[in-house]
Structure formats: C-alpha cells, structure tokens
C-alpha cells in the first residue's frame, strides 16, 4: 500500500518485527531517525549518534549512516523495530545533519526520500515525503500505537528547522507543531 500524500494512513496491526527502510538517490546527507514516546511518557531518540537496542528499551535499532558527504546514488538506512508494546508513538524522521549544524534549509523539495515499512508477514507500506516546506528536519510518518485495535502508520510529511541538535524538546516541538 502506498501513502503518497500527507494525511493518508494504514493499519500496521499486529507484528513481531517492523523494518523501516529510508531510501534516496539525491546527492544529500540525509539521515533516518526515530523519536519515540513510551506508554509511561518517556521520550527518546534513535539516530546515527545513538543507534538503539533491539533487545532492550526502545527495542529499535538503526543500521548506520549512509550518503555522507552529500553522496548521490542508492542510499538506504534501515531501522528495525522488534517490539511496539511499550510505545505510544514512534515518529519517523529524515534530516540533513549538515544543514542542522548551521540552521539552514535542506533540499527536501528536490529530493526523492521515501520510506518502506515492512512487517514480518511481508506486508509493505511505502510512504513518500510529500512536503515542499523549507526546513532541515522532516517528519515523514508516525506509528501511532495508542489504539487498542492496533498500530497505524500515518504520512505526516511536515518540515521544520533546527539549529544544532541541542535538545530532544526542540525536535518534539517540530513533531507536535
């Protein structure tokens, strides 16, 4: 199923594992990141500086950092999620770290960033970044696990601007803004 436009959503229901692949060919140093909120209100961030852990909270792990130095081509970063039970939300983000460092805008409008979210049953949901907004951080999608009937995936496609990665709260302001 494809979620090409902002606001589209799909149920991702019950699964044992999710694999989130962010792909792009644009010559940009984009990074996949995931912010999360647990059922007891803890917030955290998985990114190239904190790759996460599959066997302990947050039960998510990032593959690494691709496209460094604005390298074009078949770039891909993968986030694995082994358990959502303890999560209310997982926000799937793309940022251009070089642009975050100096507070300038990224090239989302001219990019081909997309997410592919696949469960352990082989069901895939493709989410296209659908924003022309200026910014250096884009919230591509949210996994909303607050419903008793199961998690849903929502194409959020909104951008914001950070100057430095100083606090999780700055990022949360963009997510909730």
- pTM score, two decimals? 0.91
Question: pLDDT by residue (tens digit) across 117-138?
Answer: 998 888 899 998 887 677 899 9
* Percent over 90 (pLDDT), the chain: 43
The answer to whether 91 touches 72, Cβ cutoff 8 Å, is no
Helix, strand, coil shares, percent, the chain, to 5: 10, 45, 50
Q: Which residue has the tokens 């990224």?
A: 106
CA gap 76, 98 in Å, rounded: 18
Structural domains for the chain: 2-176 (2.60.60.30)
Residue 68's pLDDT band, with cuts at 50, 70 and 90, is: low
Is 20 within 8 Å of 84 (Cβ atoms)? no
CA 140 – CA 137 distance, rounded (Å): 9
Q: Residue 8's Cα: distance from chain center in Å?
A: 16
25-55 pLDDT per residue, tens = 888 888 999 999 999 999 999 998 899 999 9
- Residue 24 CA to residue 134 CA, distance in Å, equals 18
Distance of CA 102 to the CA centre of its chain: 21
């Amino acid at each position: 199923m494809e979620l090409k436009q902002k606001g589209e959503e799909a149920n991702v229901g019950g699964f044992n594992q999710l694999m989130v692949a962010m792909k792009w060919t644009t010559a940009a140093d984009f990074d996949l990141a995931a912010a999360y909120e647990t059922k007891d209100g803890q917030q955290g961030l998985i990114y190239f500086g904190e790759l996460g852990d599959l066997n302990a909270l947050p039960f998510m792990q990032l593959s690494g950092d691709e496209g460094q130095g604005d390298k074009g081509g078949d770039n891909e970063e993968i986030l694995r999620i082994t358990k959502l039970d303890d999560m209310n939300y997982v926000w799937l983000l793309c940022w251009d770290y070089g642009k975050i460092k100096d507070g300038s805008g990224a090239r989302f409008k001219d990019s081909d960033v997309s997410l592919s979210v696949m469960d352990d049953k082989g069901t895939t949901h493709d989410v296209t970044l659908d924003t022309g907004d200026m910014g250096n951080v884009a919230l591509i999608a949210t996994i909303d696990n607050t419903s008793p009937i199961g998690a849903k995936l929502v194409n959020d496609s909104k951008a914001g601007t950070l100057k430095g990665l100083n606090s999780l709260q700055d990022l949360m302001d963009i997510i909730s803004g």
